[in-house]
Amino acid sequence: MSAGTYYVPEQSRLPIWASLGLFLTVFGAANWINGNAKGPYIFLVGGLVFATVLWSWFSIVISENMAGKNSPQLKRSYVMGMGWFIFSEVMFFAAFFGALFYIRNLALPWLSGVGDGADNGLLWPGFEAEWPLLTTPDMAVNGDAATNIGPGQSMSFPGWEGMLGWLPLWNTLILLTSSVTVHFAHSAVKNNNRKGFNIWLGLTVVLGVVFLILQVEEYIHAYHELGLTLQSGIYGTTFFMLTGFHGAHVTIGTLMLFIMLMRSLIKGHFKPDDNFGFEAASWYWHFVDVVWVGLFFVVYIFG
């Protein structure tokens, strides 16, 4: 194939199946959150459909690249596509960070009576703006009843004496370290060092798994020992939405890097001048790390 030729793939039904899988996943998640017993099963079916589509789609793209069908122009389009995808993810998290900013800096002061003409007498008499907001509206009306228990304490920085046992700090160190190891893996593949690439990439995957294990431990601690849940007021909702969606992205990123590792170990893929599949996954991983740093300061340190 000449350098100026742009390869046009054959028609495919995979985009339709991908749309169906995503719809079922989101529909199932919404029903799951709202207590529908069928929600988890719909979510699982949607996830399986979408995963199968991705497996088939990426297999086709990889085989096309190995056959030499991907021209430089097509490869540039892959780079642009991944760039726009990461940009969309930036906007996704910007919406959640924006919601948190709005609640903390605008809604709470207004509810406490700050602002021109503001009056909280009907909405929440005697309310005082504070963050984290550990008192839920139900607790303010009905008292600390068994059905209205709010969070006993926040997930914020516990002080220097409790720093070594603070899981968010360890998770931050783990993710920052993983950014370094994935960079070393990138340098290794650029230098045609297959062994070094596999070692550094494997270590990055292990760090991603450790991060997820610690986050699950943090959630168990929050739910069972602190009373912090999705139902415990605006603080619980924003905390789990931000950290939960980030955890989902870490899961996706870890899976992406694991697949890249398997491709290298089993198929011997990736060359110094042809490794965009791994590069795209590493870009995504760096993005996930940057988001966590923002979460660490906004949700934990200054939370």
Q: Is the pLDDT of residue 75 over 90?
A: no
27 band by pLDDT with thresholds 50, 70 and 90:
very high
Identify the band that residue 293 occupies on the pLDDT scale cut at 50, 70 and 90. very high
Percent of the chain past pLDDT 90, that is, above it, reads 52
DSSP single-letter state for residue 35? T
In whole angstroms, what is the distance from residue 130 CA to residue 282 CA? 39
- What are the residue boundaries of the structural domains of the chain, listed by start? 1-70, 75-301
Q: What's the pLDDT at 301?
A: 86
Contact 285, 253 (CB under 8 A): yes
Q: Residues 99-108: what's their mean pLDDT?
A: 89
At residue 48, the pLDDT reads: 95
Mean pLDDT of 182-195: 94
Q: Could you tell me the pLDDT band of residue 200, with boundaries at 50, 70 and 90? A: very high
Q: Right CATH number for 1-70 from 3.40.50.300, 1.20.1250.10, 1.10.287.70, 1.10.10.10?
A: 1.10.287.70
Is-contact 279 166, C-beta < 8 A? no
Q: Which of 7-16, 215-224, 262-271 has the lowest mean pLDDT?
A: 7-16
Structure tokens at 43: 């979510």
CB 171 within 8 A of CB 295: no
SS3 274: strand
Confidence of residue 138 (pLDDT cuts 50, 70, 90): low
- Is the pLDDT assigned to residue 218 strictly greater than 60? yes
DSSP string, 232-245: SHHHHHHHHHHHHH
* pLDDT on residue 46: 95
CB of 293 within 8 A of CB of 237?
A: no
pLDDT by residue (tens digit) across 41-57?
Answer: 999 999 999 999 998 98
Q: Measured between alpha carbons, how far is 257 from 206 in angstroms, rounded to an integer?
A: 10
Residue 19 pLDDT > 90 = yes
**What rounded mean pLDDT belongs to the chain?**
86
* Residue of 235 and 43 predicted with greater confidence: 43
Q: Residue 145: its pLDDT value, please?
A: 46
| Domain over 75-301 is classified CATH 1.10.600.10 | no
- 270 and 168 Cβ atoms separated by less than 8 Å: no
For 180, what's the count of Cα atoms within 13 Å in the CB-facing half-sphere?
6
Q: Is the pLDDT of residue 190 over 90?
A: yes
Whether residue 70 has pLDDT greater than 90: no
- pTM, to two decimals: 0.85
- pLDDT of residue 98 exceeding 80, the answer is yes
Q: At what angle do helices 72-102 and 233-262 cross, to 10 degrees?
A: 160
Same CATH fold assignment for domains 1-70 and 75-301: no
Least confident of 52-61, 92-101, 196-205, 283-292: 52-61
Average pLDDT for 254-260:
94
Share of the chain above pLDDT 70, in %: 88
